[in-house]
Amino acid sequence: MSSEKRVQHEFPPVFDGNSKVLVLGTIPSPKSRERGFYYMHPQNRFWRMLSAVLGEEVPEDIPGRRQMCLSHGIALWDVLAECSIDGASDSSIKNAVPNRLEVIFSSAEIRAVFTTGKKAQALYERFFPDFMPAECLPSTSPANRTISEEEMLERYRRIAEFL
């Protein structure tokens, strides 16, 4: 039985005029939508990875996470503004509508774009073929156990090269 439903992105991107790196997911998971911010499933490894790359402790709250990104020149958003999806399964995404990424590109001098997983990468390439190429990082989702934390961190360290 499918639990597919139409979801809309409900919270704004994190960026300002000093953003240098744009990190894109697909669309917020149910836990992230419930909590109103990016990568909020308790077992998602995104904040541990990013904090380690930046040499910071993992911020406990959303304002701290937002501030950590902004203070280091990192913009966060998702490729999609809305789609049909079954739970948090990126592989089930249908009827996708992209976000307006030009909002960030026209406001900040983005040096690099990273996607957090293969689906985000494929959607970025589909909807934004004329934008800056993106580098695909491993998904930090709890469902992705194909890569060790050490290897994942090594891949995420690429972000620091553009800050």
Report whether pLDDT(76) > 70: yes
Q: What is the pTM of this model?
A: 0.95
Q: Residue 2 — pLDDT band, cuts 50, 70, 90?
A: low
pLDDT reading at 145 higher than 90: no
Q: What is the pLDDT of residue 146?
A: 84
Flag whether pLDDT at 3 surpasses 80: no
Q: How far is CA 146 from CA 116, 138, 142, in A?
A: 14, 9, 10
Edge-to-edge strand ranges of the sheet holding 80-86: 4-8, 80-86, 89-98
> Does domain 4-162 fall into CATH 3.40.470.10?
yes
Kindly state the average pLDDT of the residues 97-105.
97
pLDDT band at 61 (very low <50, low <70, confident <90, very high): very high
110-119 pLDDT, tens digit per residue, is: 999 999 999 9
pLDDT at 123: 97
| Inter-residue contact 113 to 60 (CB < 8 Å) | no
Nearest to residue 141, comparing CAs of 21, 62, 27, 8? 27
